[in-house]
Amino acid sequence: AQSVTQLDSQVPVFEEAPVELRCNYSSSVSVYLFWYVQYPNQGLQLLLKYLSGSTLVKGINGFEAEFNKSQTSFHLRKPSVHISDTAEYFCAVTRVASYGKLTFGQGTILTVHP
């Protein structure tokens, strides 16, 4: 089975400051890793994914994440946040060759203050 731990439930930050949202995972088999964003009253939108290859993954809206196999981590970063980045962020994994099942972390609420 897979599990995901998001280390911070809430992260407040000022506009234009850098931010890192932390994610650790546990799995005995190969997995793919994802970050999703959820704005109020909306579904989930994929920010970025790691399937294989380069461990630094770039996504939409200026976000990037680094896969670290030895530390089983997949932290999300953005060098300069905007007010519009205020949302809830979910780290997720899925087992390679699985059917539809994503396992999510508990979420991190990012609040960007002016």
Q: Cβ closer to another protein: 48 or 81? A: 48
Residue among 81 and 91 whose Cβ is closer to another protein = 91
CA distance 29 to 27: 5
Token reading at 8: 């911070």
Q: Output the smallest distance, CB 18 to another protein, in A.
A: 26
Cβ at position 86, least distance to another protein in Å: 18
> Could you give the CA distance from residue 113 to residue 97 in angstroms, rounded to a whole number?
41
d(CA 19, CA 16): 9
Distance CA 22, CA 90 (A): 10
Tokens 């670290």 correspond to 68
Q: Retrieve residue 26's tokens.
A: 């546990």
Is position 7 an interface residue for another protein (rule: CB under 8 A)?
no
Draw the binding track, 17-36, toward another protein (x: CB under 8 A; -: no contact): ---------------x---x
Residue 48 has which token pair? Answer: 């970025």
Size of the site for another protein (CB under 8 A): 27
Nearest to another protein of 70, 97 (CB atom)? 97
The least distance separating another protein from the CB of residue 17, rounded to whole angstroms, comes to 27
